[in-house]
Structures are given as C-alpha cells and as structure tokens.
Amino acid sequence: MSFDISEYELVETSALTIQNPRGDGDLLVNGKPVVFTLYSPGTAQYVQAEHKANNASTFRMQSMLRGKSVKNQSELSTEELAAKLAAVTASIENFPVEGGALAIYANPKLCYIRKQVVQYLDDLGNFTKPSPTN
C-alpha cells in the first residue's frame, strides 16, 4: 500500500452558511440561505491575499516608525481586511449586493458577516476532506 499525501491536504474551497445577526438561524434572503464559498488557506488565492495584506500592514507600520502620519489607521485596516476577504471569496449565493464581496465586507453594518467569515477561515477543520466511513 502506497502513501497518498493528497488525503491529508486541505480542500480548495468550503461553503459557509451565514448566520443572521442574532446568531439564532441562517441569514435568509427570499427564503434561501446566504452561502459564501471561500478559498482555503492552502490555495494560491489565499496565499496571495495574505501576502498583499501583510505587505500593506508592514508598509503602514514602517511609515509610522519613520514619523510619517498615517491617517485613518483603523479605516485603512478595515479596508485591507475587506480586500483580503473579498480576494478569498470564491462566490456568494443569495445575497446580490452591488459591488459584490468587497462591498459586503467593507460595510460596517454587515460586520457580523465579516466576523463569521474570519472565524471560519481561521478554523482549518472547515477545509479538510470528510473522514472515510468504516
């Protein structure tokens, strides 16, 4: 029997059903759940988005150390996070917002969606293959 490393790799994408702001059920639009399909941390899309976000954060920090004023730091941080999350969102079902994923993540009144996505991405278990049943 040969060893197959692919059995241990993360899957490319995983679907997150968004919960309503109260957290007591699915977020529904016209009776259908809102589902975000996200690229896993093991994909090129995620790695590129992470790299871009880290570069922006590093640049901002270096500017501050050099005495340059960085205006609206919290706003920039939110924009960078929104851009990263939009880059790792493969698709969105049943939430037809103009501007797509970036508009959703950048909207402070939809912060509950952003928080759910961040939490989901942080749990690698969401991107594992189902265990074989015996």
Digit-coded pLDDT (tens) for 69-127: 666 656 667 888 999 999 999 999 999 999 999 999 999 999 999 999 999 999 999 99
Q: Which domain holds residue 59?
A: 9-127
With cut-offs at 50, 70 and 90, classify the pLDDT of residue 53. confident
| 99 assigned to some structural domain | yes
Q: Residue 71 sits in a domain of what CATH number? A: 3.30.2220
Asked, for residue 50, whether it belongs to a domain, the answer is yes
Residue 2 lies in a domain: no
Residue 117 resides in a domain? yes
- As to burial, measured by CB atoms within 10 angstroms (0-12 exposed, 13-18 middle, 19+ buried), residue 66 is exposed
Residue 132 lies in a domain: no
Name the domain count of the chain. 1
* 46 domain residue, yes or no: yes
Domain annotation covers residue 4: no
Distances (CA, A) of 84 to 10, 31, 68, 77: 19, 29, 25, 11
**Rg (alpha carbons) of the chain, rounded to whole number:** 18
The whole-angstrom separation of Cα 86 and Cα 108 is 15
Answer yes or no: is 133 within a domain: no
Say what the pTM is. 0.84
